[in-house]
Structure 1
Amino acid sequence: MYLATTGRRDTPAPPRGSGAGRRVPGAVLALGTVSLVTDISSEMVTAVLPLYLVLGLGLSPLQFGFLDGLFNGAAAVVRLLGGYAADHGRGHKRVAGLGYALSALSRIGLLLAGGATAGIAAALATDRVGKGIRTAPRDALITLSSPPETLGRSFGVHRAMDTTGALLGPLAAFALLWATADAYDAVFVVSFCVGLLGVLLLVLYVPAGHPPGPRPAARPARRAPRGRKAFEALGDPAFRRVLAAAALLGAATVGDSFVYLLLQQRLALPVGWFPLLPLGAAACYLLLAIPAGRIADRVGRRLPFLYGHLALLGVYATLLAPASGPGMLLLVPVLALLGVFYATTDGVLMALAGPVLPADGRASGLAVLQTGQALARMLAAAGFGAAWTVRGPDTALWAAVSALLIALVGGWALLPRTPSGDRAPAGPDATTPERRTA
Structure 2
Amino acid sequence: MYISMSDRHGGKEKTADAPVDAADRNGVQFRLSPVILWLGLVSLATDISSESAAAVLPLYVTGFLGLSVIAFGIIDGINQGASALVRIAAGWVSDRLGRPKHVALAGYGLSMLARIGFLFAGGFWSLAAAVTGDRIGKGIRTAPRDALITTAAQPEHLARHFGVHRMLDNIGAATGPVIAFLVLMLIPNGYGTVFVISLAFAAIGVAALALAVPNLRTGKASWAVVTPLRASVPVRWQLFREPGLGRLLITSALLGVLTVGDGFIYLVLQARDSFAVYWFPLLYVGTNVVFLLLAIPLGRLADRYGRGKIFVAGHLALVACYLFAAAPFGGTWPTLLCLALLGAFYAATDGVLAALAAQLTPADRLATGIGTVQTVTALSRVAASTAFGVLWFATGPATAMMVVAVLLLAGIPAAFMILRKAQRRVSPA
TM-score, length-scaled by structure 1: 0.87
Counterpart position of 1:283: 289
Conserved? CA contact 1:354–1:366, under 8 Å = yes
* Residue aligned with 1:344, SS: helix
| Distance in 2, Cα, partners of 1:132 & 1:9 | 31
Return the offset for 1:362.
0.9
Counterpart position of 1:51: 59
Distance verdict in 2 for CA 1:155–1:206, change over 3 Å: same
Structure 2 gaps, min length 5: 1-16, 221-225
CA RMSD, Structure 1 to Structure 2 (Å):
2.4
Within 5 Å, give how 1:246-257 maps onto structure 2.
246-257=252-263
| Distance in 2, Cα, partners of 1:105 & 1:232 | 36
Task: Give CA deviations for 1:373-392 in whole Å, capped at 9, x if unaligned.
Answer: 11111111111111111122
Residue in structure 2 matching 1:319, options 311, 322, 325: 325
Residue in structure 2 matching 1:12, options 12, 22, 26: 22
| Distance in 2, Cα, partners of 1:338 & 1:71 | 18
Return the offset for 1:433.
5.2
| Distance in 2, Cα, partners of 1:309 & 1:434 | 33
| Distance in 2, Cα, partners of 1:28 & 1:405 | 35
Is 139-148 or 369-378 further displaced after alignment? Answer: 139-148
Conserved? CA contact 2:287–2:342, under 8 Å = yes
Conserved? CA contact 1:97–1:202, under 8 Å = yes
Counterpart position of 1:380: 384
1:396 aligns with 2:403: no
Distance verdict in 2 for CA 1:258–1:313, change over 3 Å: same
Counterpart position of 2:337: 333
Residue in structure 2 matching 1:146, options 130, 138, 153: 153
Query: Which gives a bigger RCO, structure 1 or 2 (Cα 8 Å, sep 6+)?
Result: 2
% identical aligned pairs: 44
Distance verdict in 2 for CA 1:12–1:434, change over 3 Å: farther
Question: How many equivalent residue pairs?
Answer: 406
Distance verdict in 2 for CA 1:346–1:192, change over 3 Å: same
Within 5 Å, give how 1:16-415 maps onto structure 2.
16=26, 18=27, 20-89=28-97, 91-113=99-121, 115-210=122-217, 225-323=231-329, 327-415=331-419
Task: Give CA deviations for 1:70-105 in whole Å, capped at 9, x if unaligned.
Answer: 343221121122112211227310110011111111
| Distance in 2, Cα, partners of 1:169 & 1:388 | 28
Task: Give CA deviations for 1:300-344 in whole Å, capped at 9, x if unaligned.
Answer: 1111111100000101111232215xx113111100000100000
TM-score, length-scaled by structure 2: 0.89
Conserved? CA contact 1:69–1:377, under 8 Å = yes
Return the offset for 1:258.
0.7
Return the offset for 1:189.
2.1
One-letter code aligned to 1:253? T
Is 189-198 or 286-295 further displaced after alignment? Answer: 189-198
Structure 1 gaps, min length 5: 1-6, 216-220, 421-431
| Distance in 2, Cα, partners of 1:391 & 1:252 | 17
Counterpart position of 2:5: none
Distance verdict in 2 for CA 1:204–1:341, change over 3 Å: same
| Distance in 2, Cα, partners of 1:13 & 1:227 | 39
| Distance in 2, Cα, partners of 1:108 & 1:228 | 40
| Distance in 2, Cα, partners of 1:319 & 1:192 | 32
| Distance in 1, Cα, partners of 2:242 & 2:189 | 52
